[in-house]
Chains A and B, each alone.
Chain A
Amino acid sequence: MSEPRQQPGTGQPDLEERGAARTRKRALKRLQSLLPEHCLLTRPAALKPYETDGLTAIRERPWVVALPETEAMLAGVIQICREEGIAVVPRGAGTGLSGGARPLADGVLLGLSKLDRILEIDLSNRAARVQPGVRNLAISEAVAEHGLYYAPDPSSQIACSIGGNVAENSGGVHCLKYGLTVHNILGLTVLTFAGDRLEIGGPGNDPECLDLLALYCGSEGLLGVVTEVWVRLLPVPPERRVLLGAFPAVAGAADAVAAIIRSGLVPAGLEMMDRLAVQAAEAFVHAGYPSDAEAVLLCELDGVAEEVAADARLVERVFRDFGASAVQTAETTEEQARLWLGRKAAFPAVGRLAPDYYCMDGTIPRARLAEVLARVSVLSERYGLAVANVFHAGDGNLHPLILYDANRPGELEQAEAFGAEILDLCVAVGGTVTGEHGVGVEKLGPMCGQFSEAELNQFFRLKAAFDPRGLLNPGKAIPTLTRCAEVGGMHVHGGRLPFPNLERF
């Protein structure tokens, strides 16, 4: 057992190791009497596969794993941990890419995967009430017979859970037109670490004074544990069409994206893949992506038939104006599904090109796409690490995938340094350090570059309002000022040292 880490800013007293061991022993007893045997994992071999989520570079074996099967069990785990002063890290499907579900060696990992029932489909309000462990895609599958679907579709939608989507405020291919998770949920039931059960919003019109729903979306499990979600369901559009443009140069594709957005058209999705990403996706789905193009744009249009036809003409013209060598149209559902499957599986498919990849997530103003991609490619040569680009071009959300080999000493560190430079670049051109994957533990450093001391302090005050002892997913999402002082050397803005009042280490 490692030393109980002291979470700065949590106000937790520094317990003597012996006292901590006694506490853990008592807490374990209580957890054992609350949960059936298959819902509480304690053997080291059973804990090991839980040491990481979708970001395998960051690992830590949890003290125990609790997998409640009912809301009552979930509430019980939180109560025990509150009373015993033990930290809790919530986890959905474990597909996150920023280490948001990275466990703590002296904390409980609270897995929500057994809470996977769709509780209610309310057709008159076009909404569904689901448990947090329900997979994103399972919602659309369950309501397909009613001609409805749930719009946000992160690439991992086949596996990621709705609870995790709320925590990360996930977007996806279609968020350009239909918005992020925050725009597509109507209500939440949340258990706070203080012991409250909050019901926020609901399927009907429910005006709120405080928009707590928006606060919880993207709070990365720091403010409460979601036990139920009301999601908004949309009617499947009568017509959908996907255009694929093959470009001989990345810059042409990037400029085409800016031109489409400038024209006032809002496509349902507008995505870019570069040559490497296309190569990987093609190896998996055999969708017939052009293998000789430097960049491929996928543009989905939806709506009534006339509108879609007119929009398609416009998009095709823009594609050609910016140098597309070929434009294909997928009209059947099967063809479209195949094109999207390749795009959505592109991250893991890159696993065919290299043993490991480091997936970056930053946003930039769309007009700077071509310039930023060119600079990333220069960096790629400097570091000697290949980059596959596959991303939500329409909303300027970049996902450079840095290819590396973790078994080669030093390569992970090189990849991380490269990634940090990409994020610096995003901020420098007016963007942000995370688009949709969250901060987790991975982006704590870059957060220091984006937010000031006053802003970070405000985040901590908000956290304390819901979790005064700082026991829920501590150490994630908000960097401590000490940490920022340590990494601060990299971010000297306007010649001023960040956080000048803090002691340097």
Chain B
Amino acid sequence: MQTSLPEAFTATGEGRRAEAILRSCVHCGFCNATCPTYQLLGDELDGPRGRIYLIKDMLEQERVDPVAVQHLDRCLTCRSCETTCPSGVAYGELVEIGRNYQEARQPRGLIERLQRRWLLSVVPYPRVFARWAALGRLAGPFLPRRLRKQLPARPVRRPPPEEVANPVRIVLLLDGCAQRLSTPEVNDSLVELLAALGIRTLRVPEAGCCGALALHLGAASQARTAMASVLDSLSAHLEEVDAVISTASGCGVTLKDYGRLLADERESAAQAAAFADKVMDVGELLASLDARWRRALPVERIAVHVPCTLQHGQRRGDLPAKLLEQAGYSLVPVADGHLCCGSAGSYAVLQPELAERLGENKVAALTNGEPELIVTANVGCQVHLGALTKVPVRHWIELLAPEPG
């Protein structure tokens, strides 16, 4: 597409990237077809092609219109459009640039600002989040049912297994932020699973949020601080581990992107790139092992929800189904697997109406084949879907056990 961005903007690194991405879009509209919000709303402005146009117009006119803010806010950043796009438009990156541009110009009213500040000052910090969660549990009876179901339960931690002697591999497992409160059992059971395979797991509790939340909200500097802090707390361990593992694909997709995200940081760019190279989704680690799998839970029929961050972000959406089938589960067919469930980081909080419609559609698709269990690969999806259906929702690795021998 033709562009005429101001020279002052294209002189910056961000400006050059924005121009290159805009130029690669040919406006064919294929992306609208697989965009969850376009499917619900049927408005060009709520599809990727229209948002690209809004961003282009905003950057060219150097003016942040409330229309552009509203429709960029409605984007899930699920990146389904990137999977569909034949021209290879890096939409996610462009939206990030667009959001940073908007937030830097303060487009919001007091209530929205407070809401966002609350999210950014609570969710990424497990200790703070835990206090709010406890408060929420106390207030439980007065909260709407769905919100109540999303609150982290009082954590029940399993004692870690004995340290693996003579490990075949050592991996660093990131506990993230919200995940360690909401679904701590996932990483605990992974440690046991890996121990049974002779893999030692290192955990570094000081390593906090990966920065994904701030990144989504266009809080560029807070995202950088979070990323720098993760790198800082892990740098002493990077040499000794073979891989850095995340069981939350939403964090994984950001961690893998550290190289690009911190490319402009003179001091940490190289370190960030080296770190990103070691990051693997848990599925990639398990698939790379020479292991045979069996069922860890006594269920047969399961439905798989592949998080967008795994299928569109990391392009490894095939992994859960592959390993679960090897383990002997029967996977029920799920229509429209490419669509987002509506969780999408802070989206469920900031856009509750759309998130709920997407969630209900997703639950209908997942339960159509009457599964006994739904599995997914990201904490956000797990909690969001769990509040919308009676069918239990688990992380898929909890269903795997290695075949002995």
Contact residues of A with B, CB < 8 Å? 38, 41, 43, 45-46, 48-50, 52, 54, 56, 67, 93-95, 111, 113-116, 133, 135, 137, 156, 158-160, 283-284, 345-352, 355-357, 406-407, 412
Q: A46-B45, A116-B42 are in contact. List 6 more A-B contacts (CB 8 A).
A: A52-B27, A93-B33, A111-B42, A348-B30, A350-B26, A352-B24
Given known pairs A48-B53, A345-B30, the reply for A407 and B3 (CB within 8 Å) is: yes
Bound form: Cα–Cα A95–B29 in Å: 6
Q: Given that A93-B29, A137-B33 are known contacts, is A49 also in contact with B49, CB under 8 Å in the complex? A: yes
Q: Please provide the chain B residues from 41 to 81 with a CB less than 8 Å away from any CB of chain A in the complex.
A: 41-45, 49-50, 53-54, 57, 65-68
CA distance A159 to B86 in the complex (A): 13
In the assembled complex, the Cα of A137 lies from the Cα of B32 at a distance in Å of 13
Q: Do A45 and B57 form a contact, CB below 8 Å, given A116-B42, A352-B24?
A: yes
B-chain residues with CB within 8 Å of residue A113 when the two chains form the complex: 42-44
Contact A48 B57 (CB under 8 A): yes
Report which of A94, A284, A356 forms a contact with B26, defined as CB distance below 8 A. A356
Using C-beta atoms within 8 Å of the partner chain, give the interface range for chain B.
35 or more
What is the CA–CA distance of A348 and B27 in the complex, to the nearest angstrom? 8
Taking CB as reference atom, which chain B residue is nearest A94?
Answer: B29
Q: A56-B2, A67-B42, A351-B86 are in contact. Are A93 and B32 (CB under 8 A)?
A: yes
CA distance A502 to B361 in the complex (A): 61
Flag if B44 contacts A111 (CB, 8 Å).
yes
Once bound together, how far apart are the Cα atoms of A43 and B43, in whole Å?
14
B85 at the interface (CB under 8 A from A): yes
Contact A284 B44 (CB under 8 A): no
Alpha-carbon distance A26/B229, docked complex (angstroms): 59
**How close is A94's CB to chain B, nearest CB, in angstroms?**
6
Can you list 27 pairs linking A and B with CB atoms under 8 Å apart? Answer: A38-B43, A43-B65, A43-B67, A45-B65, A45-B67, A50-B44, A56-B1, A67-B42, A94-B29, A95-B28, A113-B43, A114-B43, A115-B42, A159-B32, A345-B30, A347-B28, A348-B26, A348-B28, A348-B87, A351-B24, A351-B25, A351-B28, A351-B88, A352-B24, A352-B88, A356-B1, A407-B2
Whether B237 sits at the interface, judged by CB under 8 Å, is no
* A347 and chain B: residue at smallest CB distance: B28
Confirm or deny: B23 has a beta carbon within 8 angstroms of a beta carbon on chain A: yes
Q: Does B271 sit at the interface, judged by CB under 8 A?
A: no
Scoring B23, B30, B31, B66 by chain A CB atoms within 10 A of each residue's CB, the highest score goes to: B30
Query: Are A159 and B43 in contact, CB atoms less than 8 angstroms apart?
Result: no
Q: Are A49 and B42 in contact (CB under 8 A)?
A: no
Our pick among A54, A115, A352 for the contact of B27 (Cβ within 8 Å) is A54
Q: How far is the CA of A348 from the CA of B89 in the complex (A)?
A: 10
| Cβ-closest chain B residue relative to A136 | B33
Q: Is the CB of A48 within 8 A of B25?
A: no
Min CB gap B180→A, angstroms: 38
Closest Cβ–Cβ distance, residue B353 to chain A (whole Å)? 12
What are the residues of chain A within 8 A of B24 when measuring CB–CB?
A: 351-352, 355
- Check B29 against A349 for contact (C-beta < 8 Å): no
**Within 8 Å CB of B25, what residues of A?**
351
Other-chain residue from B4, B30, B49, B67 in contact with A158 (beta carbon distance below 8 A)? B30
Closest-by-CB residue of A relative to B87 is A351
Shortest C-beta distance, A407 to chain B (Å), equals: 6
B42 touches A114 (CB 8 A): yes
B150 contacts partner chain A, Cβ-Cβ < 8 Å: no
Give Cα A283–Cα B42 distance, bound, in whole angstroms: 30
Asked if B84 is at the interface (CB within 8 A of a chain A CB), the reply is yes
Interfacial residues of chain B within 1-46, with CB under 8 A of chain A in the complex: 1-4, 23-34, 41-45
- What is the CA–CA distance of A331 and B375 in the complex, to the nearest angstrom? 33
A158 touching B54 by the CB < 8 A rule? Answer: no
Instruction: Compute how far the CA of A305 lies from the CA of B53 in the bound complex, rounded to whole angstroms.
Output: 48
User: Known contacts being A50-B44, A93-B32, A158-B33, is A351 close to B26, with CB within 8 Å?
Assistant: yes
A94 to B49, CA, bound (A): 10
**Are B42 and A348 interface neighbours, CB within 8 A?**
no
Contact of A349 among B50, B65, B86 (CB under 8 A): B86
The 5 tightest CB contacts between A and B, nearest first, are A351-B87, A406-B2, A345-B86, A45-B65, A49-B53
Closest to A407 in B: B2
Are A284 and B57 interface neighbours, CB within 8 A? no
Cβ-defined contact, B68 with A45, below 8 A: yes
Q: Which of A50, A95, A116, A352 sits near B87, CB closer than 8 Å?
A: A352
Are A156 and B26 in touch, CB under 8 angstroms?
Answer: no
Contacts of A160 in B (CB 8 A): 29
Partner of B33, one of A114, A135, A357: A135
CB of B50 to closest CB in A, whole Å:
4
Residues of B within 8 A of A350 (CB): 26, 87
Please state if A94 and B2 are interface contacts (CB–CB under 8 Å).
no
Q: Which of B33, B34, B53 has the most CB of A within 10 A?
A: B33
Q: What chain A residues lie within 8 Å of B4 (beta carbons)? A: 407
A45 to B88, CA, bound (A): 26
Q: How close is A406's CB to chain B, nearest CB, in angstroms?
A: 4
Set of chain A residues within 8 Å of B3, measured between Cβ atoms:
407
B87 touches A349 (CB 8 A): yes
Name which residue of chain B comes closest to A67, CB basis: B43
Q: Shortest beta-carbon distance, B17 to chain A, in Å?
A: 15
Closest beta carbon of chain B to A269's beta carbon, Å: 19
* A355-B325 Cα distance, complex, nearest whole Å: 43
Name which residue of chain A comes closest to B84, CB basis: A158
- Closest residue to B25 on the A side, CB-wise? A351
**With A43-B65, A114-B42 in contact, do A283 and B88 touch (Cβ < 8 Å)?**
yes
Chain A: which residue is nearest B52 at the CB level?
A: A49
Task: Tell me which residues across on chain A come within 8 A of B23, comparing CB atoms.
Answer: 355, 407
B44 touches A348 (CB 8 A): no
Query: Given the complex of chains A and B, what is the CA–CA distance between A115 and B42 in angstroms?
Result: 8
Report the bound CA distance from A160 to B33 in whole Å: 8
Whether A159 contacts B30 by the Cβ 8 Å rule is yes
In this complex, which of B2, B25, B32 has the most chain A Cβ atoms within 10 angstroms of its Cβ?
B2
B2 touches A159 (CB 8 A): no
- In the docked arrangement, what's the CA distance between A93 and B68, Å? 21
Minimal beta-carbon separation of B376 from chain A (angstroms):
23
Given contacts A349-B86, A406-B2, contact A159 B29 (CB under 8 A): yes
Whether B85 and A49, one on each chain, are in contact in the complex, defined by CB atoms closer than 8 angstroms, is no
Cα(A88)–Cα(B182), bound, Å:
53
Q: How far in angstroms is the closest Cβ of chain B from A294?
A: 22
Residues of the B chain whose Cβ atoms lie less than 8 Å from the Cβ of A351 = 24-26, 28, 86-89
